[in-house]
Chains A and B, each alone.
Chain A
């Protein structure tokens, strides 16, 4: 079945450094979504990408969808302590519900 791989599993950064997490699907995706889960909380929707090569920005967060629609990335510029949490990508390919990656857990050292 469809698989969504996400790397790295963990990332520790100093406050002010940049952070990137990568997502790769075994199949071509119709769209990809990104969610953030704060420590002790539940996943919250951040954004959806639909078009090949699409780039979207939310303040310091930049989301990209690959040209082949099989990979995606989330880049955070100048991390802050409020960015701490686990970031999940989730892909939809048409046959099943969203398939979530295992997430990247971000720690920010002040």
Chain B
């Protein structure tokens, strides 16, 4: 069954701790994305990767880091430098980043930092 998986669904952390969110896809897509969603703010792009071992900053990359060592995996680390990390995080993938590429989203991870 093809798709994108994100784990865990809910994540609780203490302030000051780094936390890594998982994103895996078996769609054989080259491009992967991380978005942050806050109420009333829509989808804000954190990082994206067009190919293995390469990634680009999005609009709100500060306080986050990513890696793309495998085509299927694009983990996101929320570092202690992120001042307001509590949010809903969505991972997505697409065949490429060109025109007409549909993005497929995972179920998301809700991060709550106490």
Q: What residues of chain A have their CB less than 8 Å away from a CB belonging to chain B?
A: 1, 6, 9, 30-31, 33, 35, 41-45, 48, 50, 88, 90, 92, 94, 97-98, 100-103
Q: Is there a chain A Cβ closer than 8 Å to B2's Cβ?
A: no
Q: Does the CB pair A31–B99 fall under 8 Å?
A: yes
Q: Does the CB pair B45–A43 fall under 8 Å?
A: no
Closest to B91 in A: A42
Q: A42-B108, A97-B33 are in contact. Are A48 and B40 (CB under 8 A)?
A: no
Closest to A94 in B: B99
- A42 CB contact (under 8 Å) in B59, B90, B99, B100: B90
* New contact pairs (14) apart from A35-B103, A45-B103, A92-B99, CB-CB < 8 Å: A6-B42, A9-B40, A31-B99, A31-B100, A41-B107, A42-B106, A45-B102, A50-B100, A88-B42, A90-B103, A97-B58, A98-B101, A102-B40, A102-B42
Complex alpha-carbon distance, A33 and B90, angstroms: 18
Q: A9-B40, A88-B43, A103-B42 are in contact. Are A98 and B100 (CB under 8 A)?
A: no
Q: Does the CB pair B43–A100 fall under 8 Å?
A: yes
Q: What residues of chain B have their CB less than 8 Å away from a CB belonging to chain A?
A: 31, 33, 35, 40-43, 45, 48, 58-59, 90, 92, 97, 99-108
B-side contacts of A88, CB under 8 Å: 42-43
Nearest CB of A to B101, in Å: 8
Q: Does the CB pair A48–B102 fall under 8 Å?
A: yes
Closest to B35 in A: A100
- A33 CB contact (under 8 Å) in B48, B59, B102, B106: B102
Nearest CB of A to B84, in Å: 18
A-side contacts of B106, CB under 8 Å: 42
Q: Does the CB pair B40–A45 fall under 8 Å?
A: no
A-side contacts of B31, CB under 8 Å: 97
Q: A88-B42, A101-B42 are in contact. Are A42 and B103 (CB under 8 A)?
A: no
Q: Does the CB pair B41–A102 fall under 8 Å?
A: yes
Q: Does the CB pair A44–B105 fall under 8 Å?
A: yes
Complex alpha-carbon distance, A50 and B107, angstroms: 28
